[in-house]
Amino acid sequence: MQTSFNKLFMFSVSALMIFSPAYSETNEALLKQISKGFSTVAKKATPAVVYIESQGAEKTQKLPRKQGPIENPFDQFNDDFFNRFFGFPYQQQQPKQKKQDMVRGSGFLVSEDGYIVTNNHVVENATKVTVTFNNGKKLLATIIGTDPKTDLAVIKIEEKKLPFLTFADSEKLEVGDWSIAIGNPFGLQATVTVGVVSAKGRSQLHIADFEDFIQTDAAINPGNSGGPLLDIESEVIGVNTAIVSGSGGYMGIGFAIPSNMAKRIIEQLISDGQVTRGFLGVSLQPIDSDLASFYKLKSTNGALVADVVKGSPAEKGGLQQEDIILNYNGMAVDSISSLRNDVSLMAPGTKLKLRINRDGKEKDLNIVITSIPEEAAQPGSSIQKLGLIVENLTPELSQKLNYAENEGVVITQVEPGSPAAEAALSPGSLIIAVNRRKVSNLEELTKAVQAAAKEKRVLLMVRQGESVRFVALHFDE
């Protein structure tokens, strides 16, 4: 139906051009038929789209990033160390501020018994979530699960026999297909806008950790977040999540999480309340023309293995540094992000077959995916009490941050209001010594900080770029 509808539209436009300025009954009928298609989608989908208000106690919100053009009206996304494992540029965290806030957004029902999909940033840290239907009915919702890494969340209301939307196959989506957004921009309920799919597979936008966005020119404004992006058959092709804007309003570029990714995340959130991701354990980089020439490759397709994490599935499966991954499970590596996203959606125990190029010869490797390791500094640990999230300085991070390998342990996140924040420590800084003893890895740092915790204070030697300073911190209880 999608294809035929597009052809119908093109035919009608052509007809208008041919017969203009004469306006025939045939042209009018064609335009009415097109209009009818959009209104049918709106009537079918609008009852399943809801307005969401989330009230949080001292809601934490990141200040807008300044390094790129992407702007999210409720920008609360965090990059984390999994980005570096897969070769994405390190992004320094922006400072955070705490404030009382009411976040407003959209959502849509995916079951008749009250499960609602929205964005994580719409309900993150909320103490009270209120859902309003198009008919004005209001209900309190419970947060079932959230996934900050894709900016998805599931909430639930206690109601039965509700209208709901189904998911389309976003893999079948083509650039130029119709896209219809329904949401509540600026609090205006049940707003319908129409556009086309401008692009697929948008990544490295630094909106979320796992990115494979649909780009659309359907008008998306603040408040549309979490609402559905629909095809002409009223099926969900994406979850609206962000816009590009210099003013906070519509400028013709919006992004939606594709339905295939969203569906798998949502299923896990509903069944388990959390998401378990597959882990390969490599740092990858794209192949440019210079690398292709050096490695004597016929094209720039594939991904170069820059580093392999010790003890990871990749290492156990025989993957080596400088291997070139050509395809996985029979699919060509079109981009690093697509490989990374697909692996992340694999269940632990899944078998991954890689075709690689090693020293000019192709060979197959069989790797068993595991779950992603937990972050090193767990809540309640001594490092966490200082307000720090840290990780080992990998060769890749060493190069990107311009530090010597094994020089120390890198800070990846600083908790607002913590002792570390009060001492003006920032992501990207390097801890090189604890209580005058050098530390070169996470294990050494953890032991040193745990020992210092007994004295309720610790002296850190920290490098930031070319500058080195000493910082005395007291432990938060």
Residue pointed to by tokens 């070769």: 87
Residue 95 CA, chain-centre distance (Å), reads 20
Give phi and psi for 316, each to the nearest 5: -65, -30
* Cα distances (angstroms) measured from residue 22 to each of 10, 30, 52: 18, 15, 47
Which residues carry out catalysis?
Answer: 121, 151, 225
| Dihedral sign, Cα of residue 199, residue 203, residue 208, residue 210 | positive
Task: Give the C-alpha separation, 255 to 202, whole Å.
Answer: 8
d(CA 282, CA 327): 15
d(CA 377, CA 470): 22
Structure tokens at 278: 């597959």
Q: 398 φ, ψ to 5°? A: -55, -45
Side chain identity, residue 398: S
The tokens for 84 are 């570096």
Nearest Cα to 109, choosing from 130, 131, 129?
131
**CA–CA separation, 410 and 398 (whole Å):** 9
Q: What is the DSSP letter of 88?
A: P
* Residue 314 to residue 311: CA distance in whole angstroms: 8
What is the DSSP code (8-state) at residue 92?
A: P
- Paired tokens of 100: 């009382």
Residue 259 to residue 95: CA distance in whole angstroms: 32
Q: Which residue has the tokens 């020293």?
A: 359
Question: What is the sign of the dihedral through the CA atoms of 415, 416, 417 and 419?
Answer: positive
Beta bridge partners of 229: 181, 238
CB neighbours of 105 closer than 8 A, spacing ≥ 6? Answer: 52, 54, 74, 118, 119, 121, 122, 123, 183, 184, 223, 224, 225, 226, 227
